[in-house]
Copies of this chain bind each other. A is one copy, B any other.
Amino acid sequence: MPVYSVSHVENVRICVIMVGLPARGKSLIAQKIVRYLLWLSIKAKCFNVGSYRRQLAGDTAITAEFFNPDNRDGWSVRVEAVNRATEDMMRWFAEENGVVGIIDATNLTKQRRSDLLKLCRENLIEPIFLESWCDDQDLILQNIADVKTTSPDYVDVDPAVATDDFLSRISQYERNYQTLNVADDEDLTFIKLVNVGSQIIVNRIESYLESRIVYYVMNLHIKPRSIWLLRHGESEYNLTGQIGGDSNLSERGWRYAKKLPEIVLKSLGEEHEHTNLTVWTSTLKRTQQTASFLPYQKKLEWKALDELDAGECDGMTYEEIEQQFPEDFKARDDNKYEYRYRGGESYRDIVIRLEPIIMELERQENILIITHQAVLRCLYAYFMNVPQEESPWMSIPLHTLIKLEPRAYLTLVSRIKADIPAVSTYKEKGTSQLGELASEVSNSRDLILNSLQASV
């Protein structure tokens, strides 16, 4: 019997209807909600009306004039795009058992919203409106800068021209905008974010899943920050190939710990030399020893960051597990995400206990997390949208710092490998053998696009 979350018994289907002018971060919020829910195994999908519109009208030659409410052709293409997006969403709910669908479009008029509301109610889907309202010009210009560099509408367009066109597109939209409003819309379920969460109005939120979405959205911020993820230094158990336990660092692990302050400082870059970090560790000695030379004052210990509990297999090598519990060994390889060790945990269990950590991470600024292989895989999977089939098999070597820099529409990932060898703790599927010395990773810095598209 799998571990359910309440959402699975509520038997609820929700359609989140985004509302707001272009460049208000709607797509970003929508994509983050989808990523968060998928990570929690709640089936979610975003339907971006902009993509449908581009399919219908073609990618190019879409200028601000297209978005003039008086432009008949533009208007009918946009109505058709919404219709196709909602039809696809309804099919997804019906045929693929979708739980949370998001209509990512401007939905600025009462009429449009009322049409969507009717459609949801006819299909027994709970509608929830999520408006991002913003009059902070700095925020808007920042967002426009992000959009014009990533929007398919402005491929190969001069940035200055793109900005002008986009501003004029926004003013076309503004002519029709009817914001959500407590007096007129008191019967609707809605969340209105004012200037990225400086004020939030929450109306008629009832189900559990709705309240989770609200709380998640409340915790988002857009201040620039970085998150560092790393495993503890090589431990004595790593040397003997034992899993679990609470062993000390090996000699090489201590060398890594001593070198860590220098590595972290380098990763900060020049401008951030005085950045203040908070260090989070698990309750296990090897993570705390790894943190012990870091000069940052704020250090927090989280039980939720402890390694996957291997239950009866704690302290064993993979070879011993294969001999003593051959069926379990095979079952784990067959479905590593769901397999729960006897008296221990599965990857799914870790995700559930990490949920409050993710919520904290969304609120906080610069955090350096020293944790363990399985936990780090789950955290990384959240930030980088790695599917559940893959995340338990990711290679996360020892003595390698991963730095994530979340941006509006992409995340920068750097991996910095310390020049201190460590054993590999990576077990491939179908074998009980561990890899060779973990030296395969070279330092790298990648731009990882989160495959986000603005919906404008």
Contact = CB atoms under 8 A, between A and B. Distances in A.
A353 B215 CA distance: 18
A3 B199 contact: no
Interface stretch (A51-59, A166-174, A203-211, A266-274): A203-211
B182 A205 contact: no
Interface stretch (A73-81, A115-123, A145-153, A295-303): A295-303
Interface string A388-420: 000000000000000000000000000000000
A165 interface: no
A429 B185 CA distance: 59
Interface stretch (A86-94, A316-324, A355-363, A435-443): A355-363
Contacts of A303: 3, 345, 349, 352-353
A353 B300 CA distance: 16
Interface in A354-400: 355-356, 360, 363-364
A241 interface: no
A309 B205 CA distance: 36
Chain A at the B interface: mostly helix, strand, loop or mixed?
mixed
Contact of A202 (B1, B186, B202): B202
Contacts of A9: 278, 298, 300
A201 interface: yes
A295 to B, nearest CB: 16
Contacts of A199: 182, 186, 201-204
For A202, A208, A219, A288, which residue has the most chain B Cβ atoms within 10 angstroms?
A: A202
A343 interface: yes
Given A343-B314, A353-B353, A202 B182 contact: no
16 contacts: A1-B283, A1-B288, A3-B301, A3-B303, A4-B301, A198-B203, A199-B204, A200-B201, A202-B202, A208-B363, A214-B218, A215-B218, A244-B343, A283-B340, A309-B309, A353-B353
